Chains A and B, each alone.
Chain A
């Protein structure tokens, strides 16, 4: 069996691996629905599979095929990779990698456990999650918590090379996956709550040598923009576009972290991603628009130079990181075919842009509770074109330092956090896991110490008032109209990445631990199964020996593990969640497990 597995991998790699320049191997795997080569399933981040053995008609018969304990108890984000007959499973810190033999019910072929200084643990904001591995050309890429990027031989687990991307003693850590593009690996970094100036870096996929690095803020040479050619909303950004929007040297501890997802369009050769919040959370301490935090970036994959940028939340006052995934689709828009980019931002707006030019096409609220801005100004002749129109009552800048601004929706965790949405070309709809949580936010003065938290605000969060009492929704969204098509109430935030399939089924996990399957057209629940721990992982599908499987990691934690553990607020305090839903710990407990489902024989 073991030999078989190796042979299969060898075959798979031999067929299209090891060409000098490109990673044809990954492209072939992306095109093959039986495999799952990168976390997002494809370069476009659609999380859609063409597999159709499991359908809306038969998904109700789904059952557990096999399961696997990861041996780690923290929050499990991301999901497994499937390359040929081997599945690759990762864990939160200490970031173990397992290669499992699919021909033998998941027997462990090899295990890799890096040695990392545990002092990185408390520097990671919000649990020690890791959003998973990536594959290309016979290598498995692991980006560790301590920012070490490791390339492992997919067959043996042997370390081929490693490179260090940041310094945890300064608050620089990693939770994200990486994106192999051509002969490079694109890598982000975390540390927005520690005053890190964040960046995106491309490493040579064969040697680990740094090729380019683009910061989120700083001089033009650091942020890799061309003042004349890089545009924002159709106009050149001009000289010092970032520096002009900060007071003094504050950009040096400016945040704008890059811990989200990356997508890539081979036609435009652009890599798309979002940058996070400016540091600190106290807006009064950093006057200006704080560019280019909270920004959608489109960078050339070879040079890193930005083609266009769009800042969604200038001068953030709520911690609405812009890091959520950019989903690339080719759709009809106003009767014409367009190359679109759709992004569900933490700030509660669902944006649709032209991904070639960066033109803003749609910006609408994807949760009706969103109240911090009335709308995004879509008038091209307006001086505030493209900016959110902020409501003074919910502006922590306008209400001021040491004032508790109440009733802001969404809360800092956003109407949606990193948990990725899915797009089905069959229905033309996006399936979006969301939070339905609001907050009070009181900013105050803080001082900066390298490697120490640099937060500067007190928050309390609670389910959206005057709604269904739950803290989440799972919605279907029309990105061309900016409208919710259907919405499912969930008692807790939906912190699991969705999967849509050609079988017209959409899968997602819940914090109580359910894997759910719903009808792609109507949202009708078709199946649910309670796994051992809450799900913050992303649902994956693959085919092995003619059978379609669904796989998901359980393991409650992440930001959802804060507060949701004991309830965000006193269930008695009026704003609290309804009844027993207050405390997630009434429903689930820590645990790290992979559960694999299939139809009965």
Chain B
């Protein structure tokens, strides 16, 4: 998949059932994305890891690959990368839901609702089409700068010391990957798996709270 400076590759991810809104949504993405495209071009864009497809158990996962679930409620691909997992009846994994929540507290003030971007930060629902899990993690932890004449002076802070972000890094990645692959639309996730005990314990440990 190509991802040119105007983010036209969003076409391929728009779900068929949403096709009638494509003109507005597409234009929106196009118009706000020049900067996002420019940023994406700073690094060689790897081949996309794959759009939403159906895995052997009938659920949507990254590339339709088989995913295993751990006791935290996290689904993982054979190569160790986390993935969303949306069952045929729409039930989604806890991480996608949690990522939605955390995204809209920590990231949305710059990156816009539902990962759609703003007038001064790229649309992550597009960036995650090409950005790998490792690149995502690196950027969130260390931040990023795009400054100079004729730019909108974009600076992302380093979140490496922010527990409200770092304790939910996988959640954020999984949510945004689901948005990028078109597995999840511009909506608040409704049907979802419950938070597991292990997840809660892990969360408390991450924040240094007693269980």
Mark A residues whose CB is within 8 Å of B.
71-75, 93-94, 118-119, 121-123, 125-128, 193, 281, 404, 440, 442, 444, 446-447, 449, 452-461, 556-557, 561-563, 565-573, 579-580, 582-583, 585-586, 589-590
B114 sits at the interface (CB 8 A): yes
Q: Is A461 in contact with B101, judged by CB distance below 8 angstroms? A: no
Residues facing A in B14-31 (CB within 8 A) are: 18, 20-21, 24-25, 27-31
Give every chain B residue within 8 A of A74 (Cβ-Cβ): 119-120, 152-153
- Residue among B18, B100, B114, B165 with max Cβ neighbours from chain A (10 Å): B114
Q: Is B29 in contact with A119, judged by CB distance below 8 angstroms? A: no
Q: Is A562 in contact with B112, judged by CB distance below 8 angstroms? A: yes
Q: Is B105 in contact with A563, judged by CB distance below 8 angstroms? A: no
Query: With A565-B118, A567-B24, A585-B31 in contact, is A459–B164 under 8 Å at CB?
Result: no
- Residue among A456, A566, A586 with max Cβ neighbours from chain B (10 Å): A566
Q: Mark B95-131, 1 if CB is under 8 A from A, else 0.
A: 0000011101110111011101111100100000000
User: Which partner residue on chain B sits nearest A581 by CB separation?
Assistant: B24
* 6 A-B pairs with least C-beta separation: A561-B119, A570-B186, A566-B116, A585-B31, A583-B28, A458-B104
Give every chain A residue within 8 A of B20 (Cβ-Cβ): 572
Q: Is A580 in contact with B24, judged by CB distance below 8 angstroms? A: yes
Query: With A193-B109, A573-B187 in contact, is A566–B120 under 8 Å at CB?
Result: no
Q: Is B109 in contact with A565, judged by CB distance below 8 angstroms? A: no
Q: Which of B25, B105, B123 meets A583, CB within 8 Å?
A: B25
User: Which partner residue on chain A sits nearest B206 by CB separation?
Assistant: A447
Contact stretch, chosen from B39-47, B59-67, B85-93, B143-151: B143-151
Q: Which of B32, B156, B161, B186 meets A573, CB within 8 Å?
A: B186
Q: Is B105 in contact with A446, judged by CB distance below 8 angstroms? A: yes
Q: Is B24 in contact with A565, judged by CB distance below 8 angstroms? A: no
Give every chain A residue within 8 A of B143 (Cβ-Cβ): 122
Give the docked Cα–Cα distance between A585 and B117 (Å). Answer: 11
Q: Which of A93, A446, A590 meets B164, CB within 8 Å?
A: A446
Give every chain B residue within 8 A of A590 (Cβ-Cβ): 119, 152
Q: Is A563 in contact with B118, judged by CB distance below 8 angstroms? A: yes
Query: With A128-B153, A568-B113 in contact, is A440–B188 under 8 Å at CB?
Result: yes
Mark B residues whose CB is within 8 Å of A.
18, 20-21, 24-25, 27-32, 100-102, 104-106, 108-110, 112-114, 116-120, 123, 143, 145, 147, 149-157, 159, 161-165, 185-188, 207
A112–chain B nearest beta-carbon distance, Å: 17
- Residue among B18, B105, B207 with max Cβ neighbours from chain A (10 Å): B105
User: Which partner residue on chain B sits nearest A444 by CB separation?
Assistant: B101
Give every chain A residue within 8 A of B24 (Cβ-Cβ): 567, 571, 579-580, 582-583, 586
Q: Is B159 in contact with A452, judged by CB distance below 8 angstroms? A: yes
Give every chain A residue within 8 A of B145 (Cβ-Cβ): 118
Q: Is A589 in contact with B31, judged by CB distance below 8 angstroms? A: yes
Give the docked Cα–Cα distance between A93 and B105 (Å). Answer: 24
Q: Is B163 in contact with A447, judged by CB distance below 8 angstroms? A: yes
Give every chain A residue within 8 A of B119 (Cβ-Cβ): 74-75, 127, 556-557, 561-562, 565, 590
Give the docked Cα–Cα distance between A71 and B155 (Å). Answer: 18
Give the docked Cα–Cα distance between A393 and B120 (Å). Answer: 35
Q: Is A118 in contact with B147, judged by CB distance below 8 angstroms? A: yes
Give the docked Cα–Cα distance between A585 and B31 (Å). Answer: 6
Give every chain A residue within 8 A of B118 (Cβ-Cβ): 127, 561-563, 565-566
Give every chain B residue within 8 A of A568 (Cβ-Cβ): 113
User: Which partner residue on chain A sits nearest B27 by CB separation?
Assistant: A586
B138–chain A nearest beta-carbon distance, Å: 16
Query: With A449-B162, A563-B112, A565-B28 in contact, is A73–B155 under 8 Å at CB?
Result: no
Q: Is A73 in contact with B27, judged by CB distance below 8 angstroms? A: no
17 residue pairs A–B, Cβ–Cβ below 8 Å = A72-B153, A74-B120, A121-B154, A128-B153, A446-B105, A452-B164, A458-B100, A556-B119, A565-B116, A565-B117, A567-B28, A568-B113, A570-B187, A572-B18, A580-B24, A583-B25, A586-B31
Query: With A74-B153, A122-B110, A447-B164 in contact, is A572–B120 under 8 Å at CB?
Result: no
Give every chain B residue within 8 A of A459 (Cβ-Cβ): 104, 108
Give the docked Cα–Cα distance between A565 and B30 (Å). Answer: 11
Name 11 extra pairs, CB < 8 A, besides A75-B119, A570-B114, A583-B27. A71-B149, A94-B153, A122-B157, A453-B164, A455-B105, A556-B119, A567-B28, A573-B186, A583-B24, A585-B30, A589-B31
Query: With A121-B153, A453-B162 in contact, is A561–B31 under 8 Å at CB?
Result: no
Q: Is B113 in contact with A461, judged by CB distance below 8 angstroms? A: yes
Give the docked Cα–Cα distance between A444 and B98 (Å). Answer: 11
Query: With A567-B28, A572-B21, A586-B31 in contact, is A453–B116 under 8 Å at CB?
Result: no
- Residue among B102, B119, B186 with max Cβ neighbours from chain A (10 Å): B119
User: Which partner residue on chain B sits nearest A585 by CB separation?
Assistant: B31
Give the docked Cα–Cα distance between A173 and B184 (Å). Answer: 36
Q: Is A566 in contact with B104, judged by CB distance below 8 angstroms? A: no
Give the docked Cα–Cα distance between A281 and B106 (Å). Answer: 12
Query: With A404-B188, A570-B186 in contact, is A126–B32 under 8 Å at CB?
Result: no
Give every chain A residue within 8 A of B100 (Cβ-Cβ): 458
Give the docked Cα–Cα distance between A358 and B25 (Å). Answer: 49
Q: Is B155 in contact with A566, judged by CB distance below 8 angstroms? A: no
Query: With A565-B117, A565-B119, A590-B152 in contact, is A585–B112 under 8 Å at CB?
Result: no
Give the docked Cα–Cα distance between A455 and B162 (Å). Answer: 12
Give the docked Cα–Cα distance between A198 and B26 (Å). Answer: 41
User: Which partner residue on chain B sits nearest A442 by CB separation?
Assistant: B101
B147–chain A nearest beta-carbon distance, Å: 5
B38–chain A nearest beta-carbon distance, Å: 12
B42–chain A nearest beta-carbon distance, Å: 16
Q: Is A128 in contact with B120, judged by CB distance below 8 angstroms? A: yes
Give every chain B residue within 8 A of A455 (Cβ-Cβ): 105-106, 109, 164
Give every chain B residue within 8 A of A125 (Cβ-Cβ): 109
Give the docked Cα–Cα distance between A461 and B108 (Å). Answer: 12
Q: Which of B27, B30, B104, B185 meets A460, CB within 8 Å?
A: B104
A404–chain B nearest beta-carbon distance, Å: 7
- Residue among B27, B186, B207 with max Cβ neighbours from chain A (10 Å): B186
Give the docked Cα–Cα distance between A568 and B151 (Å). Answer: 25
Give the docked Cα–Cα distance between A404 and B112 (Å). Answer: 19
Give every chain B residue within 8 A of A94 (Cβ-Cβ): 153
Q: Is A566 in contact with B112, judged by CB distance below 8 angstroms? A: yes
Give the docked Cα–Cα distance between A582 and B29 (Å). Answer: 12
- Residue among B28, B100, B163 with max Cβ neighbours from chain A (10 Å): B28
Give the docked Cα–Cα distance between A573 and B184 (Å). Answer: 13
Query: With A118-B155, A447-B207, A573-B187 in contact, is A458–B101 under 8 Å at CB?
Result: yes
Q: Which of A453, A557, A571 meets B25, CB within 8 Å?
A: A571
Give every chain B residue within 8 A of A573 (Cβ-Cβ): 186-187
Q: Is A585 in contact with B101, judged by CB distance below 8 angstroms? A: no
Give the docked Cα–Cα distance between A299 and B156 (Å). Answer: 38
Q: Which of A73, A456, A586 meets B105, CB within 8 Å?
A: A456
